[in-house]
Chain A
């Protein structure tokens, strides 16, 4: 017994010492001199992966199927978010705007050799509708028919966003005839991309060249994709040459690579994402009072958060849609820009006063105490939360940070189990912000819009959304989207923190690595060994 105790104790001291020492060394080591020239047959990419399986219709796992170079859609977005042909070589819409005809490419084969026909595409899209209710939130069709290489989709109402909807990874085209012989969720789906699955677990995927690829030679025989969830570890893996490419290097580490421009290439772009805090406005919640919401928003010094704390890797937030998309960012007026004096006044007006002198405002015996739900897998989220906590404390808010696992966030958002809930959301997964503006703020009175668990509801907003959903004219759409955003700002509907830049960094012996704003395409056939 005593021996054990001693050993444990010594171990305690030892581990602590080793830890301190390793920190010292890690701090001093520059890590040069061990650069590898790269294996021209094997590509190693450090990523973050949230998918448990490669079934494209499960949750958002389709994103991963596409990012890993396995799945492709009928259409895709280019670097400027314009819609480009992919598996469909062209499309047109009838004069009454209700019938879409997509012409599927002739020369495409699935990785198992089956030729891609309109019939196969139809089956695949029907499969997505059958397996995931999210499909119907994009569009609903009256009929879908296959005619040779032509896919004809008829809709009940005009849907201007159709080509963009079909670029969503939920609609990745899979070979449905391969089922049930192959279990897609275990072995990965049969798709048309440049690489096929050799093995997949959440932590590590190995991809092989697709010998039947339709669009030219595939550069690498093997792609190894370890999922390195911790951003610092990912940066170090890239520094040490354990991976050749890494996505989303954090603000704290990106300077290391900028200072080593001979060895690393950085592709950093403004993403389409926004980091926001949903504010729970359901009755009985403190934030159902608009004055408190306004005070909360204008008590947050968002410029400092983004410019200083995050070192300009984020653009300071104001509106729902980031400035990288042309939806009137500069003409939108934020009534709740940073102004702590006004925030204090608003709280006084709303009846929140610090009557017991503990530094926290209260009203009717209840403290101004809010539950802020965050998750950690993105480095900036806890930082925003703590900065908000610190700023709002000066105003007499008591913000309790509740860190939960990422997988719980979606459910908590839907059920409304929060006062503030942080999210990092893409605003234009179908090419424009319509879906984003619908999911998170359209009234959910009858439970028809579960993503909006915040209780926000404004009939004027809903009416404009309805108008937007059947508007084909681009200029009118833009105007509607600007007006929608202004309503959200005036209602203090959510707290928009900032818009992330996103990056992908590669060692210079690899070429063709590009970060797309849509964030769907990481491993493409364009990535190849540098000459």
Chain B
């Protein structure tokens, strides 16, 4: 493991950044200097000061505490979403790739339909119909996003399907479920992980975007996109309410994007 980091300096740096963000997310309740939900309403829209390093928002809540608490919310939502995308995409992809025939045709035409829609617009529509909440945001983006993974996994499975070791397993009378689990899945997993890792940044942006538009997390959840929207009303008089959540999104998304890129370089030998 250490050797990998030694060989890939950039990967080591980005990984350290990711670990740092994860730690902030996990220990958010202990790191936040003040209660992110409960402010002093007599003390609203204060500019950054020693007491409130990043100022206070429209209800007198500490912006820094809310951003730290928001790390947890945003990361939790994003990681849930990416894991669900990978699972759903893999199941659909493996099923259609391995069994082929009518199953494949139906599933893949469905995927084509999903890919034909403009993703974010469809997600807005779905989240709008379901009503804004954390779960519904994840659902909406899941409905929109699974097709990409399914396509990817299917193409990998089709390549694998006619390999000798699969045919050998079939001839030996191995149960289909075992073939899928023991032979197919391990072979496609690296590609799925890489794609997932590279998607974290994008998905985080989309979640924040939906929340910004009011279709995602609802107040008083400290979600970055939602905080941006709340700060928008005070863009001229209290700009810190937009600058700092914006910077948080920027830093975290950039870190995950760079990390995803370098992870691909490390895991995928063709790229080296």
Contacts and interface: CB of A to CB of B under 8 A. Distances in A.
Interface of A: 5, 8-9, 12-13, 15-17, 19-20, 23-24, 26-27, 231-232, 235-236, 250, 252-253, 255-256, 301, 304-305, 308-309, 376, 379, 382-383, 385-387, 389-391, 393-394, 400-403
B202 A8 contact: yes
B65 to A, nearest CB: 14
Nearest to B204: A12
Interface residue tally on B, bucketed by range: 35 or more
19 contacts: A5-B198, A16-B254, A20-B250, A23-B243, A24-B239, A27-B235, A27-B239, A232-B232, A232-B235, A252-B238, A301-B41, A308-B42, A376-B214, A386-B219, A386-B220, A400-B218, A401-B218, A402-B131, A403-B218
A521 B239 CA distance: 34
Given A24-B243, A401-B218, A16 B249 contact: yes
A9 B205 CA distance: 10
B219 A401 contact: yes
Contacts of B242: 23, 27
Contact of B58 (A23, A376, A383): A383
B253 interface: yes
Nearest to B252: A16
A122 B39 CA distance: 58
B201 interface: yes
Contacts, number: 105
Given A17-B250, A308-B44, A393-B38, 17 more contacts: A9-B198, A12-B202, A12-B205, A13-B201, A13-B254, A16-B205, A23-B242, A24-B243, A231-B233, A232-B233, A304-B42, A309-B59, A379-B233, A386-B59, A386-B220, A390-B37, A390-B41
A431 to B, nearest CB: 34
Nearest to A394: B38
A20 B243 contact: yes
A232 B253 contact: no
Contacts of A232: 232-233, 235-236
Interface of B: 37-39, 41-42, 44, 58-59, 131-132, 198, 201-202, 205, 214, 218-220, 232-239, 242-243, 246-247, 249-250, 253-254, 257, 260
A27 B243 contact: yes
A23 B232 CA distance: 9
Contacts of B236: 26-27, 232, 235-236, 252-253, 256
Contacts of A12: 201-202, 205, 253, 257
Nearest to A235: B236
Contacts of B235: 23, 26-27, 232
Q: Which 9 A-B residue pairs are closest in the complex by CB-CB distance?
A: A27-B239, A20-B246, A252-B234, A16-B250, A23-B242, A304-B41, A386-B219, A12-B205, A252-B233
Contacts of B246: 16, 19-20, 23
A231 B254 CA distance: 32
